[in-house]
A and B are shown apart, each in its own frame.
Chain A
Amino acid sequence: GAVVSQHPSRVICKSGTSVKIECRSLDFQATTMFWYRQFPKQSLMLMATSNEGSKATYEQGVEKDKFLINHASLTLSTLTVTSAHPEDSSFYICSARVDRDSVLYSNQPQHFGDGTRLSIL
């Protein structure tokens, strides 16, 4: 079945560091990927929609300069948390939308990565 790989699964770094998280669709093309943020025991909040070859669409209240998104290929989107601070500590999850013309679409149109636990000291 379709799989989305998210890397790293866990990262601990000092305040002021920039951290890059990768989201990769392993066996299907994903023109669109999504980045969510989740605090403990809370829901997933959509941060931005990543579109291959174009600028990401950010949700209201999400700082574009803080959370840089690049979707340079049909299988890879990256989220960079720039100059991270302790309040950026959270669980970040990506999902990849299977393109409609894919044979995989009818089975499950969207697949999630396993998430990245980011801790800023």
Chain B
Amino acid sequence: AQTVTQSQPEMSVQEAETVTLSCTYDTSESDYYLFWYKQPPSRQMILVIRQEAYKQQNATENRFSVNFQKAAKSFSLKISDSQLGDAAMYFCAYRAGASYGKLTFGQGTILTVHP
């Protein structure tokens, strides 16, 4: 079974600074996708960024980027120029290519942004 581990229950960052959230996963599949979701206090699930395992290039979405290390099964999220609105719970998620959308989530990391 696939597992996703986020070892940082809480992280904090100063506004305008950079923070990195860690995620590791375990799978025997070769075809899979990785995601970072943001869940603000409203509890809405917001897709931040996604990475296809077959792509070597790290995904980037504006201030958000990932460091995808396939051999190490690591998928960290870097948030640059942190903003107050980035404060939320962040979940790393895994989806096998043939799973028809079934997601496995990590435990989550609560990110606090200090002004």
Residues of A within 8 A of B (CB): 32, 34, 38, 41-46, 49, 91, 93, 95, 97, 108-110, 112, 114-115
In the complex, A34→B102 CA distance in Å? Answer: 7
Chain B positions within 8 Å of A32 at CB level: 100-101
CB closest chain-A residue, reference B107: A43
Taking a contact as CB atoms under 8 Å apart, the answer to whether B44 and A44 are in contact is no
In the docked arrangement, what's the CA distance between A108 and B49, Å? 10
A57: nearest chain-B partner, CB-CB: B102
Task: Say whether chain B's binding surface is mostly helix, strand, loop, or mixed.
Answer: loop
Partner of A43, one of B43, B101, B108: B108
Q: How many residues of B are in contact with the other chain, CB < 8 A?
A: 17
B11: Cβ under 8 A from any A Cβ: no
Are A112's CB and B101's CB within 8 A?
no
- On whether A115 and B44 interact (CB within 8 A), knowing A34-B103, A42-B107, A109-B101, the answer reads yes
B47 touches A44 (CB 8 A): no
Q: List 5 A-B contacts (CB under 8 A).
A: A32-B101, A43-B91, A43-B105, A114-B43, A114-B44
Residues of chain B contacted by A34 (CB below 8 angstroms) = 101-103
Cβ A41 vs Cβ B110 within 8 A = yes
Question: For A115, what are the chain B residues with a Cβ–Cβ distance below 8 Å?
Answer: 43-44
Q: Is the CB of A97 within 8 A of B43?
A: no
B103 near A93 with CB under 8 A, answer: no
Question: Are the CB atoms of B103 and A46 closer together than 8 Å?
Answer: yes
A93 to B110, CA, bound (A): 19
- Name the A residues within 8 Å of B42 (CB-CB): 114
Sample of 18 more A-B contacts, CB < 8 Å, known A42-B108, A112-B44: A34-B101, A41-B110, A43-B106, A44-B45, A44-B91, A44-B105, A46-B103, A49-B100, A91-B43, A93-B45, A95-B101, A95-B103, A97-B100, A97-B101, A108-B47, A109-B101, A112-B45, A114-B42
